[in-house]
Amino acid sequence: MVSEGDQEFHRKTFALDTIRAVPAGVVETLGTTFTILLANRVFQAGDMAKASLVAMPSLGLLLSLFVVQGVRRSGMSVNAMLALIFAVSGGGFMVASFAGDRFDVYLMGMTVALITVTLNIPLFSQIYRKHYPGSRRGSLFSTTAFLRKIFAIGAAALFGWMLTQSLDNYPILLWSYAGASFLMAVCVLFMDRVTLSKSRQVKLFEAFRHVSEDKPFRKMLISWMILGSGNLLCFSLFVEYISNKDYGFDFDENKISLITTIVPEFLFFVFVLVWGRLFDRMNFYVLRCLINVFFALGVLFYYLGDAEWCLFVGIGLHGVARAGGNVAWSLWVTKFSPAEHVAEYMSVHTFLTGCRGVIAPFIAFKLASEIGPAWVGGIGAGLIFIATAMLGTSVAQGVVTREP
């Protein structure tokens, strides 16, 4: 039973995270559309440079393993570290906004911003585990995600229109991202403090001991590695596929924003609350398999369809899947990990996500130039089905996860 004091605790965190949903939604448009769109249209960047930009957030996920260990060693609160990360990210966006026509300055600023913007995820998982009751965690998280997508859709539409008017407006986008990052830093500082047990020494890969000790956790990580590799291969090319005329499309900035951000974000917005409630009520293995099917179908429509409507159907299905994937990806460790070790479990998960995310864009761009995006889509969908089949054995055995 939740005490009155705990309820107040949850309400305060939820209120602040709801406010944070506004700037977080703005920043999310960067990864779905505008990083590559700016590289293509403003700087005419090459494939390796674009692959590097796509890989930067994944490098941040990889490095997040060490951030958690740094928090344990320093004794700094989770909140203070999160605020520092968001502040550094805002600084990176500010540097990039002064690039003018110099791609090297843009790349330098965006590298800092894109890496740091994903360092926060394991630490936020610890806040959600500490502040939200297990019976409502999925619902509370999905409600803020629902609000986040409203602002992501609005920001994408506005930014797409601004760039269509003039590509010289791109610094305004980057200033918006910087301001959003600073606002997120303020929000986490006002949340009640969350601390981790302080360690006298730091073993950088200490969190990986859980992989050898926890068999269900290990199986999920293997399945997720296969799933994520397939998904990231395809995701890396979503914008490139319809903005590069070499692949048969050459849409304007508004159309690209519509397809790659507004449509999937709208479907995310519509379905995320449903997925959040399913997370609280459904066997996690069944839920993960269902999400995977939507991902695979979306990829097949997007890359193998031969008409423009296939792009919309594919990206729409992917948006539905992304809504469920966001809930599952962000919270699944709370069903597997003891309370004190949520951040460590999540840091292993994000580290491995980062590993595949750093590599996948380079493979995707290379494969697309050699054998075409359709083959990349087919390979990606195949990997997703393999990962789903792995979890199907747990479903058949009636395995159920329970929060420790």
**What DSSP line would sit under 22-59, residue for residue?**
HHHHHHHHIIIIIHHHHHHHTT---HHHHHHHHHHHHH
Place of tokens 């890359």: 303
Please provide the DSSP assignment of 291-303 as one string: HHHHHHHHHHHHH
CA distance 170 to 119: 25
Q: How far is CA 224 from CA 119, 206, 348, in A?
A: 19, 21, 12
Residue 404, pLDDT above cutoff 50: no
pLDDT in tens, 102-136: 888 988 998 899 888 888 877 887 788 777 776 67
DSSP string, 138-153: HHHHHHHHHHHHHHHH
pTM exceeds 0.75 for this model: no
Is the CA virtual torsion 311, 317, 321, 322 positive or negative?
Answer: positive
With cut-offs at 50, 70 and 90, classify the pLDDT of residue 142: confident
Higher pLDDT, 342 or 396: 342
- Give the pLDDT mean for 267-288: 85
What does the pLDDT read at residue 134? Answer: 67
